[in-house]
């Protein structure tokens, strides 16, 4: 039997999006064209494949059984074809979407953008919101090139790479009336603290580290991003516990001082994940290598 291979990416898009509308948008097709392709898929694979429900479509048992093998076959085809293509970053014109968490957006993305401007001015980045639900970022469907942050329980169609480990430090105002060049456990617990939300997995890591050390923390105020922390700490007697790379930047602010925490709070990983279909894509491989290099340079000792 002859198979129309052009229909298989449509099958995978429907499997991952669970919506005819979203699958059509992802593939750059009209909904009527996609519906027509789905009809041909049903004939080719001799099954209904997808059943309409109130909030989209759900795959049949046959579709669920076929999906892993089809996805793997397409990934191998991509590897074979894309691996033969040459990529010249200095001449490339691409727009790539990435989903960094708030920490990565603050400390890593500016350095990545600066590096791109030097070596690949035609490659542009579009940032989309990070979410602990990886499907919401678009990385599990392939519409987003990369997710950057803490990647927990990734699905089978994602590849995860460890970038670096990050520690934690404390920040208070430079002329704090109670805190000198170091901070004791008792002082930490007596202070009121600034928390950053939406916290995501890093919040879980910090809260778990505090719990493991039986270190109490009274949160006075929660802010929505790291940019607000410096201003909040500078005009109060509050303390903030933040990743070391953020503290390294805040240390240049004369209004603030950075101190080690009173106990060892450990480290948390920073990771990068992408869809298996981009495993051998030359542009994606090059961007991943650049991001990994920037992360290594940033996480090294301060100069």
How many domains are contained in the chain? 3
| 105 found inside a domain | yes
By CB neighbour count within 10 A (0-12 exposed, 13-18 middle, 19+ buried), where does 25 fall?
A: middle
Q: Which residue has the tokens 């001082």?
A: 257
What angle is formed at CA 140 by the lines to CA 16 and CA 24, rounded to 5 degrees? 45
**159 and 282 assigned to the same domain:** yes
Per-residue pLDDT averaged across 145-167, rounded?
A: 91
Q: How are the residues of the chain apportioned to helix, strand and coil, as percentages rounded to the nearest 5?
A: 45, 20, 35
N-to-C CA span, the chain:
64
CATH number at residue 173: 3.40.190.10
| Structural domain of 194 | 168-266
**155 and 75 assigned to the same domain:** no
Dihedral sign for Cα atoms in the order 52, 55, 60, 66: positive
What angle is formed at CA 256 by the lines to CA 252 and CA 262, rounded to 5 degrees? 110
Q: What is the pLDDT of residue 199?
A: 44
pLDDT of 62 higher than 80? yes
Per-residue pLDDT averaged across 102-129, rounded?
A: 93
How do residues 219-269 score in pLDDT, each as one tens digit? Answer: 999 888 888 899 999 999 999 999 999 999 899 999 999 999 999 998 889
> Rounded CA gap, 29 and 16, in Å?
16
**38 and 178 assigned to the same domain:** no
Q: What is the pLDDT of residue 303?
A: 42
pLDDT of 302 higher than 60? no
CATH number at residue 65: 1.10.10.10
**146 and 197 assigned to the same domain:** no
**71 and 208 assigned to the same domain:** no
Q: Which of 82, 102, 125 is at the close of a domain?
A: 82
How do residues 196-206 score in pLDDT, each as one tens digit? Answer: 875 444 555 67
**109 and 31 assigned to the same domain:** no
By DSSP bridging, strand 158-166 and strand 94-100 are unpaired
Q: What is the pLDDT of residue 1?
A: 54
> Rounded CA gap, 12 and 16, in Å?
6
3-class DSSP assignment, residue 177:
coil
**259 and 194 assigned to the same domain:** yes
Per-residue pLDDT averaged across 131-155, rounded?
A: 87
Contact, 84 vs 222, CB < 8 A?
Answer: no
Q: What is the pLDDT of residue 259?
A: 96
- Percentage of the chain modeled with pLDDT above 90: 49
The C-alpha torsion from 214 through 220 and 226 to 228, rounded to 10°, is: -160
**137 and 209 assigned to the same domain:** no
10-14, 72-76, 92-96, 216-220: range with lowest mean pLDDT: 72-76
Per-residue pLDDT averaged across 124-153, rounded?
A: 88
Q: What is the pLDDT of residue 141?
A: 80
**26 and 77 assigned to the same domain:** yes
Higher pLDDT, 78 or 221: 221
> Rounded CA gap, 2 and 257, in Å?
69
**292 and 275 assigned to the same domain:** yes
| 38 found inside a domain | yes
**188 and 145 assigned to the same domain:** no
**188 and 45 assigned to the same domain:** no
Higher pLDDT, 302 or 226: 226
| 131 found inside a domain | yes
Task: Kindly indicate the confidence band of residue 215, based on its pLDDT and cuts at 50, 70 and 90.
Answer: confident
Contact, 161 vs 272, CB < 8 A?
Answer: yes
| 59 found inside a domain | yes
| 180 found inside a domain | yes
Q: Which of 82, 115, 142 is at the close of a domain?
A: 82
Mean pLDDT (the chain) is: 87
How do residues 165-178 score in pLDDT, each as one tens digit? Answer: 999 999 999 999 99
| 87 found inside a domain | no
Higher pLDDT, 166 or 300: 166
78-82, 114-118, 136-140: range with lowest mean pLDDT: 78-82
Q: Which residue has the tokens 């694979």?
A: 45
Q: Which of 82, 117, 151 is at the close of a domain?
A: 82
Task: Kindly indicate the confidence band of residue 301, based on its pLDDT and cuts at 50, 70 and 90.
Answer: low
Q: What is the pTM of this model?
A: 0.71
| 189 found inside a domain | yes
How do residues 256-287 score in pLDDT, each as one tens digit? Answer: 999 999 999 988 899 999 998 888 888 899 99
């Amino acid at each position: 039997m002859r198979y129309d291979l052009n229909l298989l990416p449509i099958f995978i898009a429907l499997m991952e999006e669970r919506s005819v509308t979203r699958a059509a948008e992802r593939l750059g097709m009209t909904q009527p064209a996609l519906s027509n392709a789905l009809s041909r898929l049903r004939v080719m694979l001799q099954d209904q494949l997808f059943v309409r429900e109130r909030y989209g479509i759900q795959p049949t048992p046959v579709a669920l059984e076929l999906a892993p093998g089809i996805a793997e076959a397409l990934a191998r085809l991509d590897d074979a074809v894309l691996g033969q293509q040459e990529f010249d970053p200095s001449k490339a014109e691409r727009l790539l979407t990435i989903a960094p968490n708030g920490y990565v957006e603050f400390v890593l993305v500016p350095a990545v953008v600066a590096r791109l401007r030097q070596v690949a001015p035609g490659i542009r980045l579009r940032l989309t919101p990070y979410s602990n639900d990886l499907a919401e970022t678009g990385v599990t469907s392939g519409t987003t090139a990369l997710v950057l942050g803490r990647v927990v329980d990734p699905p089978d169609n994602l590849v995860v790479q460890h970038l670096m480990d990050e520690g934690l430090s404390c920040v208070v105002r430079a002329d704090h009336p109670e805190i000198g060049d170091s901070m004791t456990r008792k002082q930490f617990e007596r202070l009121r603290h600034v928390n950053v939300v939406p916290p995501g997995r890093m919040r879980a890591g910090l809260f778990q580290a505090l719990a493991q050390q039986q270190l109490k923390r009274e949160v006075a105020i929660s802010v929505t991003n790291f940019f607000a922390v410096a201003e909040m700490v500078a005009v109060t007697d509050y303390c903030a516990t933040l990743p070391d790379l953020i503290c390294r930047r805040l240390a240049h602010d004369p209004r603030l001082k950075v101190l080690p925490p009173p106990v060892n709070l450990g480290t948390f990983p920073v990771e990068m994940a992408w869809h298996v279909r981009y495993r051998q894509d030359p542009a994606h491989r090059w961007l991943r290598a650049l991001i990994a290099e920037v992360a290594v340079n940033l996480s090294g000792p301060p100069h």
